[in-house]
């Protein structure tokens, strides 16, 4: 990522991002918790893209070069933690489930960043405890290192509705199905169908953030019916796509 901005102290702040807004590549010497209270936030590094709707938060470790993009209007809440304070013990970006309690803690802690009183310090202590209890979520689209795998991923991203088999995609890019299947497992740790579902969910979240109707999203993203899409979405996010944008 060119033109990397270095901000030593990760900000603790609440602010709004318009749909389509970007924050260019940068890094902090501190860890950062990134929560989008609405819309969908995508955080991209050289290793891939992590995406978080309003029921998820992103953990961005200190020193990670990353960029943000807003899909739909976003109420962004950022919490910075010193590099020595790593309640998750993780050194790679991670998507975390946000319970109602953790959500309220993040909102309250970012409401007045200049406050240094004892109440706010106690708030942070509870917030850290809740972070440790948060389940990790596999909402990530890894970046392919092998150009053969990257070519297939580009085809799928370019047309999420395309139902081509891995064999057909391999034929279109000049790589055998067995080779591609091995590459998906070796590089991404998942099968091609699992990865394609992740890709389709990412595109679906982006469309829902732009108020595209559920049935339209289902067909544009390759599901055979709206009910099939709703079932996969509910299992992945815990609620239906129809209620997604209405969640607090």
- Dump pLDDT digits (tens) for 79-103: 999 999 888 888 889 888 888 999 9
Domain that holds residue 19: 5-140
Residue 65, phi-psi category: left (phi > 0), alpha (psi -120 to 50), beta (remainder): beta
The rounded mean pLDDT for the chain is 89
**Domain at 117, CATH number:** 2.60.120.810
Residues 28 and 123 in one domain: yes
Percent of the chain surpassing pLDDT 70: 96
Out of 112, 140, 168, a domain closes at 140
Out of 96, 120, 140, a domain closes at 140
Residues 159 and 67 in one domain: no
| Token output for 210 | 């732009």
The total number of structural domains that make up the chain: 2
Out of 140, 162, 195, a domain closes at 140
Residues 118 and 236 in one domain: no
Residues 132 and 22 in one domain: yes
Examine the pLDDT at 248 and tell me if it is beyond 60: no
**Domain at 233, CATH number:** 1.10.10.60
Examine the pLDDT at 3 and tell me if it is beyond 70: no
Examine the pLDDT at 245 and tell me if it is beyond 70: no
CB 80 within 8 A of CB 10: yes
């Amino acid at each position: 990522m060119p033109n990397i901005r270095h901000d030593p102290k990760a900000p603790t702040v609440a602010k709004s991002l318009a749909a389509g807004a970007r924050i260019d590549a940068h890094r902090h010497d501190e860890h950062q918790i990134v929560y989008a209270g609405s819309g969908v936030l995508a955080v991209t590094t050289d290793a891939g893209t992590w995406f978080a709707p309003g029921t998820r938060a992103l953990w961005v470790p200190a020193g990670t070069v990353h960029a943000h993009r807003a899909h739909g209007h976003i109420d962004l809440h950022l919490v910075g933690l010193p590099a020595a304070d790593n309640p998750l013990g993780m050194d790679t970006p991670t998507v975390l489930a946000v319970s109602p309690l953790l959500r309220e803690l993040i909102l309250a802690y970012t409401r007045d960043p200049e406050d240094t009183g004892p109440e706010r310090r106690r708030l942070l202590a509870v917030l850290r405890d809740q972070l440790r209890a948060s389940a990790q979520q596999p909402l990530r689209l890894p970046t392919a290192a092998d150009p053969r795998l990257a070519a297939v991923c580009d085809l799928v991203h370019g047309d999420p509705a395309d139902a081509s088999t891995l064999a057909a995609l391999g034929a279109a890019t000049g790589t055998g199905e067995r080779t591609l299947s091995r590459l998906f497992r070796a590089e991404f740790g998942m099968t091609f169908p699992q990865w394609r579902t992740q890709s389709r969910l990412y595109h679906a979240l982006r469309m829902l953030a732009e108020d595209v109707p559920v049935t339209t999203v289902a067909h544009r993203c390759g599901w055979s019916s709206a009910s099939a899409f709703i079932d996969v979405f509910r299992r992945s996010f815990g609620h239906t796509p129809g209620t997604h944008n209405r969640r607090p």
